Amino acid sequence: MSRLRLRLRLRPRLVVAALVAVALASTTAAALQVGFYRSTCPIAEDVVLEEMRLILLEDPTLAPSLLRMHYHDCFVQGCDASIMLRSRKGKAERDALPNRSMRGYDAIERIKARLETLCPLTVSCADIIAIAARDAVYLSKGPWYDVETGRRDGGVAVAEYAENDLPPPDSNIVDVKTFFSVKSLDSKDIAVLFGCHTIGTSHCGPIQQRLYNFTGRMDQDPSLDPAYAAQLKKLCPPPAGGVGDGGLGDEGKTKVPLDPGSNYTFDLSYYRHVLATGGVFRSDRSLLDDPVTKGYVEKVANATSPDEYYADFAAAMVKMGRTDVLEGELGEIRPTCGIFVD
């Protein structure tokens, strides 16, 4: 298969941990483990949580960015912190179009610097990203779950890989399933992980084609709720440079909530929003075009309790966090995360 262009609160810790253990019991045991740093840096996760509290107190909008960073890191060469690497030539993962709006690099470096003073050359950047993503969810009133640790950091970052391996927001369900299946994630995982869109915003660029030129005939996506489309058009007028500028002009600086009304609270309302309006992205709406993902959206949208979804989310995040990790003698533990690769 070619690279797609393959284009492709009290902590509910014990309950969620138990459910995750059941959900993952049939999978092959990974070398990653909960408590990997128990003997080498036992305060590691406490330090990350403490720093995350301060970081989000200073800027709550970083929570969805740090959750997104873990996903973007894992989907490109595995969960190895290659997203943190820099290129003087602008050719690293962070320079790729899907990552140009990424924020949170400084937050990861801040956490890494603190850990280096306490446990030098011990905690990987990849693990910090994974733990910070969990804490971002928890501090957004979402579930707490145990994070497997023991990843090591990669030293290769190529912009093209990110552009090829991350499903674009205008993907249909066939493309979404292809991108996720390459990472051993199934239809349920897709439906669960898309729930990350319950927090965060988007620039206008990724949705302008859906609003103004869906089929190349200056039309609107017919699956988008008309009333909601009108709201989006008020926020995102047609771009001065024409549809397809990628949101890099002034129009692209406008922020559109992915889950209107609670876009910084981790809850179930994203699923209700998708069911009622078709969501912000075409890929959100695409969840309704597959029987498994649609059934899951409908189930969560009508749930009276978040508990089942929270357990599913925890299991899916653990599963994603195992993607192509570097362990043992592979990779490295470096003193800073954002080193230059050229």
Q: How far apart are CA 233 and CA 6, in angstroms?
A: 31
Active-site residue, from 70, 72, 197, 203: 72
| C-alpha R_g of the chain | 19
Helix axes 307-320, 62-75, angle to 10 degrees: 50
Query: Are 124 and 44 in contact, with CB atoms under 8 Å apart?
Result: no
Sign for the CA dihedral angle at 125, 127, 133, 137 comes to negative
Extract the tokens encoding 58. 């200073």
Q: How far apart are CA 96 and CA 276, in angstroms?
A: 33
273 an active-site residue?
Answer: no
- Positions marked catalytic: 72
